[in-house]
Amino acid sequence: MNAPLITIENLKKRFDIRMGAFGEKAASVHALDDFTADIIEGETFSLVGESGCGKSTTGFCILNLQRPSGGRVIYKGTDLATLDEDGMRPFRRDLQIVFQDPYSTLNPRMTIGEALSEPILFHGLATKAELPARLTRLLADVGLSQRFASRYPHELSGGQRQRVAIARALACEPRFIVCDEAISALDVSVQAQILNLLLDLQEKYKLTYLFIAHDLAVVRHISDRVGVMYLGRLAELAPAQALFATPLHPYTRALLSAVPEANPHAAQTRQRLQGEVPSPLNPPSGCRFHTRCPLARDTCRATVPPLREVAPGHRVACHAVTSATTTNWEPVSA
């Protein structure tokens, strides 16, 4: 196994909600709580979970696009969480992001060539003379011909725009790319093209991905390790194969069970999660999943379960799970 590229310790993000004439703090949204994990060089580390679970916030806090409220993000021996904009600048080149909707992240008045030249010139990675050759190579990397350099975003299809967004992230020769729902808005046939592209680029440039997504089949397809998040906390973290073969956290199990299968004969009687995700404004005490968990006991309501390693590399935050093979408790009948 390679060395960690980024070490994340107890990362926290709280959004304060201010109300009233003097902007008193009325409440805080606990978007991310005690996120601890290493991102290994060359791997695809995926975060999954439902809306509001904090997966995107994690990506933003790692890149310091949102300032963490606590915790550390160690990259090349430096804690990124303590840096201001100027301090971050030398690191920005290495750490890039691709968003869900390339239409709203590309400047509509800039040609694709201009959009791609900007980061290259800003970071001094090529001279004006070298630029055209560089753009051609960059476009070729993402499967576009150099004719695209003179086009505007509105002339491109969704898949082509996402290729440009990836090219823009690649322009400054990064080591780490956060893919924040980067393929979620694409049609199935185009989604497969972009997934293949991401895999090819990773191989070619030894990239490390933090892949944020809600489509579990996609995540299983491209990940080395997967973290499952629920209401701002990691519920389970495991090698992709182990997570999908032997999910241990009751939430992971429910989540996997809810994924529709492209098979008309698949069993339709599945485990259904009752209720909905509680508000992060006022998260449940103890284990945040206890309000919907079929196994929940008093302990779960009182104490936060630690993220424990129950098998090599397989960590679970659940009082009921103490080994990789057994769940200690029977479901509580309501």
Start-end of H helices in 175-245? 188-205, 216-222, 240-245
Of 83 and 192, nearer to another protein (C-beta) is: 192
Question: Residue 184, interface with another protein (CB under 8 A)?
Answer: no
| 159 interacts with another protein by CB under 8 A | yes
With a CB cutoff of 8 Å and minimum separation 6, the contacts of 244 are 216, 220, 226, 256
Residue 73 interacts with another protein (CB under 8 A)? no
Residues 232-271 that bind another protein (CB under 8 A): 240-241, 244, 254-266, 268, 270
Counting contacts by CB under 8 A, is residue 134 touching another protein? no
Q: Taking CB under 8 A as the rule, does residue 176 contact another protein?
A: no
**Are the C-beta atoms of residues 38 and 7 closer than 8 Å to each other?**
yes
With binding defined as CB under 8 A, does residue 136 bind another protein? no
Instruction: Say which DSSP state 244 is in.
Output: H
Nearer to another protein, 69 or 191 (CB): 191
Q: How far is the CB of 196 from another protein (least distance, A)?
A: 5
Q: Which stretches does DSSP call E strand in the chain?
A: 4-19, 24-40, 44-48, 70-75, 78-79, 95-98, 176-180, 208-212, 225-230, 233-239, 308-311, 314-316
Q: Given candidates 34, 38, 41, 50, which one binds another protein under the rule CB under 8 A? A: 50
| Per CB under 8 A, 193 contacts another protein | yes
Other beta carbons less than 10 A from residue 295's beta carbon: 20
**Shortest distance, CB of residue 153 to another protein, whole angstroms?**
15
Answer for which of 40, 65, 195, 311 binds another protein (CB under 8 A) is 195
Distance (Å, whole) CA 98 – CA 167? 9
Q: Which stretch binds another protein (CB under 8 A): 129-137, 144-152, 158-166, 167-175?
A: 158-166
| Position among 157, 282, 285, 326 found at the interface with another protein (CB under 8 A) | 157
Residues with Cβ within 8 Å of residue 231, at least 6 apart in sequence: 30, 52, 53, 54, 277, 278, 280, 283, 284, 288, 289
228 and 49 in contact (C-beta within 8 Å)? yes
Give the pairing type, strands 70-75 and 78-79.
antiparallel
Stretch of 117-125, 165-173, 210-218, 316-324 contacting another protein, by CB under 8 A = 210-218
List of residues contacting another protein (CB under 8 A)? 50-51, 157-160, 187-193, 195-196, 199-200, 214-218, 220-223, 240-241, 244, 254-266, 268, 270, 272-273, 276-277
